[in-house]
Amino acid sequence: MRAQTPDYLFRRGNWFYFRRGIPLQLRNHLGRREIKVSLGTDNPDTARRRCRVSAGDRNALALAFFFASLERDPNRNQKIVVVDDPMTSLDEHRALTTIQEMRRLSDDVAQLIVLSHSKPFLCDLWQGADTALRSACRIVRANPGSTLAEWDVSQDCITEHDRRHAMVRSYINNSVGVDERAVAAALRPILEAFARVAYPEAFPPGKLLGPFIGLCEQREGTADEILSPNDRIELRALLDYANLFHHDTNPAYQTAVINDQQLLDFARRTLAFAKRA
């Protein structure tokens, strides 16, 4: 028995169409009562599959309607607009477009309040906002219930790579109060991050520095040379030291002896290597 055709599908001639009514509050802004889209098929089962919309597509469509309604509102410069978690279920490729639209919207309304669970999204939005007008807060647990507290966005915008670099630089300048073992463990990720950016084709995600160094040696003296022999030898020496402080290369990594002068030397050399053009 064939399933009943849902109300959002209708047939005109040989083709099925998707049809949805536009909410009343948006009809005047959009100048239409409904949306109709040809599904390009005369098969009802195919039509049902083609009109299935992902959660990301539904959210993107809802945001598009919302932005369109505001754009047509002549009094939008007097409005306080609240956007609640716009990144929920949105596909990653729509993130930048959403951020750009939010920034444009902030210039057109009296106040824009954005709520979100996504720190990366909020950090990106914060970095492009007017520094004289923006402010940030977070919801924190209180007894009883919860309350608002100031949020230092800049701290959450700092990446782990930034923190590693800052820790190693701090150790080089003054070792007092710095965790030497954490500094030693940070050297290999710094080298990996450098190689990932400097040589993305030869060092893609998931590749290890050991095989990368082997590839560099194979290509020495060819048109596809990656590192000079001296640079390759230096990277091998840096990696051999850094591997002492990682569980996958040294089972006794937690008890490996750390000499301050030796660590200082390798820390300086690691940062110098990661600064090369």
For residue range 45-73, list pLDDT tens digits in order: 887 777 776 666 667 777 877 888 888 88
CA angle, 216 as apex, 215 and 219 as ends, to 5°? 85
CA distances from 269 to 50, 177, 210, 231, 258 (A): 57, 22, 18, 11, 16
152 lies in the same domain as 218: no
**pLDDT tens for residues 211-222?**
999 999 999 999
Asked if 228 contacts 167 with a C-beta cutoff of 8 angstroms, the reply is: no
Domain check: are 150 and 164 in the same one?
no
Encoding tokens for residue 158?
């700092």
Same domain, 178 and 88: no
The pLDDT tens digits of the residues spanning 177-212 come to 889 999 999 999 999 999 999 999 999 988 999 999
Residue 110 sits in the same domain as residue 9: no
pTM, rounded to two decimals: 0.59
Say if residue 33 is in the same domain as residue 122.
no
Pair (109, 180) in one structural domain: no
Residues 39 and 85 in one domain: no
What's the DSSP call for residue 245?
G
Non-local (6+) Cβ contacts of 225 within 8 A are 216, 219
Q: Tell me the per-residue pLDDT of 70-117, one tens digit each, with 9 for 90 and over.
A: 888 889 899 999 988 887 766 666 777 888 888 888 889 999 999 988
| Residue 181 Cα distances to 26, 87, 155, 257, 264, angstroms | 60, 38, 23, 9, 12
**Domain boundaries, position 14:** 1-52
**Residue at a domain's end among 157, 187, 205:** 157
Distance (Å, whole) CA 275 – CA 273:
5
188 with 267, same domain: the answer is yes
Q: Are residues 111 and 208 in the same domain?
A: no
Sorted by sequence, the CB contacts under 8 Å of residue 230 that are 6+ apart come out as none
Q: What is the domain count for the chain?
A: 3
Is the pLDDT at 268 greater than 70? The verdict is yes
